[in-house]
């Protein structure tokens, strides 16, 4: 009889943990979508990079990676399929992985500076990847010896927006990264204590 109760309790615990995991990932993805939309009136100003860094460090890649994938899927559902979809599915999940491995365990000024540098560098790479995706889309319509010129002209045309992107990401990382990581860790710890409390409470 005790074994049956133990199995039932174990199943209930796994069910609660699974539901909380799915809910947490959904909330993270929702924040990415909502805040991207909220700042959409400012060209290339975004806090998606900041949030992915916070999720990766405070919650781990188990949460941040699926959240970025869901974010990309929702964006595709909203705006349709175009060349940027390939860019998004390469860039944002990769950023989650890199933030996780480079920033975990880092604290204080080192964490802030490293986060700002990584965010800034990847914001520059975003522009290069965007131009590269456009190259793939025009292959066959543009002579091969003109692809280099097309790439340079496309990249230079969007250089101002790339600079705005870099500045906005670096500024947000310098000012908000550490406070948000602390908040994220507190929320994570609170949920973990709540789950442990439910596991230890007697079953009805």
Domains of the chain: 2-200 (1.10.1760)
Cα separation of 195 and 13, whole Å? 8
Cα separation of 127 and 162, whole Å? 6
User: In the predicted model, is pLDDT for residue 122 greater than 80?
Assistant: yes
Please give, one letter per residue, the 3-state secondary structure of 84-101: HHHHHHHHHHHHHHHHHH
In this predicted model, what pLDDT tens digit does every residue of 90-116 receive, in sequence order?
A: 999 999 999 999 999 898 999 999 999
Q: What is the pLDDT of residue 131?
A: 82
On whether the CB atoms of residues 138 and 72 are closer than 8 A, the answer is no
Cα separation of 135 and 141, whole Å? 10
156 vs 64: which has the higher pLDDT: 64
User: In the predicted model, is pLDDT for residue 147 greater than 80?
Assistant: no
- Torsion angles phi and psi, residue 92, rounded to 5: -65, -45
3-state secondary structure of 16: helix
Tokens 């994570």: give the residue: 188
Q: What is the pLDDT of residue 191?
A: 83
In this prediction, residues 156-177 reach a mean pLDDT of 93
Cα separation of 173 and 7, whole Å? 45
What the block records as the tokens of 144 is 């091969």
- For the chain, the distance separating the N- and C-terminal CA atoms, rounded to the nearest angstrom, is 15
Positive or negative: CA dihedral 151, 129, 75, 182 = negative
């Amino acid at each position: 009889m005790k074994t049956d109760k133990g199995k039932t309790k174990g199943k209930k615990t796994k069910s609660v943990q699974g539901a909380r995991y799915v809910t947490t990932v959904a909330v993270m993805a929702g924040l990415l979508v909502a805040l991207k939309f909220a700042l959409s009136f400012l060209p290339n100003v975004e806090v998606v990079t900041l949030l992915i860094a916070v999720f990766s460090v405070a919650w781990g890649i188990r949460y941040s990676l699926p959240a970025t994938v869901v974010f990309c899927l929702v964006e595709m559902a909203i705006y349709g399929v175009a060349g940027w979809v390939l860019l998004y599915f390469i860039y944002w999940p990769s950023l989650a992985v890199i933030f996780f491995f480079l920033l975990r365990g880092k604290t204080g000024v080192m964490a802030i500076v490293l986060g700002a540098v990584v965010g800034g560098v990847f914001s520059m790479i975003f522009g290069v990847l965007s131009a590269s995706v456009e190259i793939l889309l025009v292959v066959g319509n543009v002579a091969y010896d003109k692809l280099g010129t097309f790439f340079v002209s496309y990249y230079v045309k969007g250089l101002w927006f790339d600079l705005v992107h870099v500045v906005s990401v670096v500024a947000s990382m310098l000012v908000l990264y550490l406070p948000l990581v602390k908040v994220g860790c507190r929320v994570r710890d609170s949920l973990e204590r709540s789950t442990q409390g439910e596991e230890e409470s007697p079953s009805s």
